[in-house]
Amino acid sequence: MTESAEFRLVNRLGLHARAAAQLVQTANRFKADVVVAKDGEEVNGKSIMGLLMLAAPVGSLLRVTVTGTDAAEAMQAIGALINDGFGER
C-alpha cells in the first residue's frame, strides 16, 4: 500500500536538526519506506542527513510518500508530528 500527502511546515524553525530527528524517529517505528520531497528533491525519510539537506524553512511544503504494509499508520503518525509543529508551536 502507498500513501502520499502534502504538509506545510508550521514550526518557527522549519525542519532543523531536532525536528528532523523526531521525524526519523517516528518513521523508524514503522516497516514502511518513507520518502520526503521538497521542490522536487526527494530524500529518505529515515535519514536525518537527507532530511537536513532539504533545507526546509517554516512555510515549506513537504510531500511525504509512504509505501508498505503499515503505510497508513506511518502516514498518520508522521502527519500528526508535522501538523503539530514537532511540538514547538
Q: Per-residue confidence at 88, pLDDT binned at 50, 70, 90? A: confident
Q: What is the pLDDT of residue 66?
A: 99
| pLDDT higher than 70, residue 60 | yes
Query: What is the average pLDDT score of the chain?
Result: 96
Report the 3 state secondary structure along the chain. CEEEEEEECCCCCCCCHHHHHHHHHHHCCCCCEEEEEECCEEEECCCHHHHHHCCCCCCCEEEEEEECCCHHHHHHHHHHHHHCHHHCC
Q: What is the pLDDT of residue 67?
A: 98
> What CATH superfamily classification does 2-87 receive?
HPr-like (3.30.1340.10)
* Residue in 9, 15, 16, 74 annotated catalytic: 16
Q: What is the pLDDT of residue 89?
A: 61
Q: What is the pLDDT of residues 14-52, one digit of tens each?
A: 999 999 999 999 999 999 999 999 999 999 999 999 999
Would residue 79 show up in a list of annotated catalytic residues for this protein?
no
Which residue ranges make up each domain of the chain?
2-87
